[in-house]
Amino acid sequence: MTIAIVAAMHEELAALLAQMPDEQRVRVAGRDFWVGHLQGQPVVAVLSRIGKVAAALTATVLLERFQAQAIVFTGVAGGLAPGVRVGDVVVATRLLQHDLDASPIFPKYEVPLTGHARFAADTAISDALAAVAAGVLADTVGLLGQKAVEDFGLAAPAVHRGLLVSGDRFVSSAAESSALRNDLPDALAVEMEGAAVAQVCHDFGVPFAAVRTISDRADDAAHGDFTRFVSVVASRYSLALIDGWLATLPPPDEQDEAT
């Protein structure tokens, strides 16, 4: 089973690529797809770029050209719900495009002609990622070092599961964040790609999961220290989460026998 690992920013993917012993670059649609192995599992890793169109295109190429049988998106998001703090991890159960509105022809947020506004993440993969995340967050000092934990105030980070919302804008004001909470009170976090990939995977009938590190509170301070957080914290989270999850999977030959 070939598993696709996708991130939107270079810093989020670099740590993963550094651990792939045999990656081979394949360039398609202006993107570098890195084909190889991680934890003994066949993987293809790619930088989707930022935004829903870029993410949807990347997902389509993964499914059509590389025959990926599951896609996992990793990276950062802005916290929305109370209690979702910087350094926490959100594992999506459902994903929605918060900037999609074809009303009154279709209900707000619903993807026209699909009957769906919320696309479900794969339960088995999400359960496994959440379990791995709990273990990773139990020792952030061991993973990041004391200085990073103190600098970013990562005291007792938590794992959250629920609605992740996506849109083609970086939510970086208290007013925007408040509006999203009012319209979507069960939304845990906001980012710019996940729901688009979830829609593509739904159409292809391929499992999808999204795991996001909270980099900010999607408010007026969202831009502060963002780049450093991604390189110092989020990239290490992503590697530990994906690496840990892949390690729980049976060897590829056993997967082949099961099918």
Which listed residue (11, 88, 191, 216) is catalytic?
216
The dihedrals phi and psi of 85, each to the nearest 5 degrees, come to -110, 165
Q: How far apart are CA 118 and CA 121, in angstroms?
A: 10
Among the options 11, 12, 122, 176, which is catalytic?
12
In the residue annotation, 216 being an active-site residue is answered as: yes
The answer to whether 5 and 72 are in contact (CB under 8 A) is: yes
Angstrom CA distances, 141 to 40, 120, 238, stand at 27, 33, 16
Residue with tokens 């293809």: 44
Note the helical H segments in the chain: 10-18, 52-64, 123-137, 140-144, 146-151, 174-183, 194-204, 226-229, 235-248, 252-258
Does the active-site annotation cover 203?
A: no
**Residue 71 and residue 197: Cα distance in Å, rounded?**
8
Closest CA to 4 of 70, 87, 79: 70
Catalytic residues: 12, 216
